[in-house]
Structure 1
């Protein structure tokens, strides 16, 4: 009873302080400070995008360090992630190192790659980003008509060192059904084609058209044609390193963003620009 009376006397004596203007100002400043802290916390939790690094390479116009948006392929990957509040920073390397940087987990993943059993061991494979088509380019002055690759028997076909043109095509070269004329770059093979030093040259369609436009005079576009049937085609993927701590979440977010781009037409719009001849 004595303690209760003491408490009542303390409250009554303190009442003037809590009712004073200085107390109201102090309490108001306290609430304002708390609101600022909470707003920063909310931004950090919900508003600020997550940032990841991806290993990239040179494959213009789809991929490239100095291309607008780092190329059409990079633009697709960036946009798909951005739709899920994930920002992408690209680190550019030679292709072999790009794959190793991602495999080791030093970056979250890498683009754009085909899928095989070896890569599936170390990476989660996304939904297809782009379907690559290797087409047969030829000089209009020496047209080529073929239905199966074996129909090209005896033709002098340009190939670029280090490139694969699909299992069937590579097999025909290895058993000498097709005559391979090797060059170090795609540009060299297109120069040979324009000079009629080779009969045909297989090259990824978008890449080939970009090379002709950027490396040769406008007349080259009129002199080179493309067979309507692909030599080889395969989907290209984003690879997410299994060593990344959020690998599953990143894959899910990317696939969801890519699906959204398909639904709203953004994906088709980007690829249409890439395919313009």
Structure 2
């Protein structure tokens, strides 16, 4: 009888340490996509394997990026997927990033606008952006100026809405991740109608960033760091990235 009680206590203790880690972001494929799909995004697959190796599971769902950042900051959600440090400098970050993102301006084919590296190029064009994202300190400050035409969308399909606005002529350009835009316009079947109009800035590290309000966050980013290193060493990371047509960032 005592052995049964002891065994039950051990099992309960083990279960109590098996966390369900909540991850949230808007759809930003190939980094993160539709929950439960065959291709949920390479960051989600990496996180799933990293946390599983530590005895935890993940709960991944989509929501507008602005809301995801707010809820992670408040401690309602554990981590945000695909964050730049500029997005949320107060969040908890690991040592291992999950890729380098390159941003660029995109326009409808035939549109003369091109970004030459000078923010003044944007003075007389309408720009579509995603609410809650940081596009770098200089850009973020520039678009606060009065008289600029900046349209911000907060939705979990914000990029798709911006692409539709490009095609409809409601905005001149949108700024977003190059691999994400290319994946989205291919999915929408409009890859022949949208073209890149100039790279913006330098490649930026991306992270799964965790809540500054939760004591578990340092543990979670340490698990992710170890998971990324282990997956790289075993060759499993390459298999995941191959699935999405990507290469290791290191």
Q: What's the TM-score, normalizing by structure 1? A: 0.64
Query: RCO (CA 8 Å, sep 6+): is it higher in 1 or 2?
Result: 2
Asked if 1:189 corresponds to 2:142, the answer is no
Question: Matched residue of 1:137: which SS?
Answer: strand
Q: Quick one: distance in 2 between partners of 1:46 and 1:227?
A: 54
Which one of the candidate residues 149, 152, 175 is aligned to 2:118? 149
Counterpart residue number, 2:173: 200
Seen in structure 2, the aligned counterparts of structure 1 residues 67 and 60 have a Cα distance that, compared at 3 Å, is farther
Equivalenced residues, count: 238
Counterpart residue number, 2:186: 213
Counterpart residue number, 2:21: 53
Counterpart residue number, 1:79: 49
Higher helix fraction (1 or 2): 1
- Any conservation in 1 of the 2:69–2:80 contact (CA below 8 Å)? yes
Q: How does 1:78-117 map to 2 (within 5 A)?
A: 78-90=48-60, 93-116=63-86
Question: Matched residue of 2:206: which SS?
Answer: strand
Taking only aligned residues, the RMSD between alpha carbons, in angstroms, comes to 4.1
Q: Quick one: distance in 2 between partners of 1:97 and 1:150?
A: 28
Q: Quick one: distance in 1 between partners of 2:66 and 2:168?
A: 33
Unaligned runs of 5+ in 1: 1-29
Q: Deviations over 1:47-68 (max 9, x none)?
A: 9982322141322421443543
Q: How does 1:124-273 map to 2 (within 5 A)?
A: 124-126=92-94, 127-142=96-111, 146-150=115-119, 152=121, 156-160=125-129, 162=131, 163-175=133-145, 180=149, 182=151, 184=153, 185-195=158-168, 198-215=171-188, 218=189, 220-227=190-197, 229-231=199-201, 233-273=203-243
Structure 1 or 2, whichever has the larger Rg, is 1
- Any conservation in 2 of the 1:81–1:257 contact (CA below 8 Å)? yes
Q: What's the TM-score, normalizing by structure 2? A: 0.69
Unaligned runs of 5+ in 2: none
Q: Deviations over 1:195-251 (max 9, x none)?
A: 556543212223323432334xx3x21222224633464322223335545443333
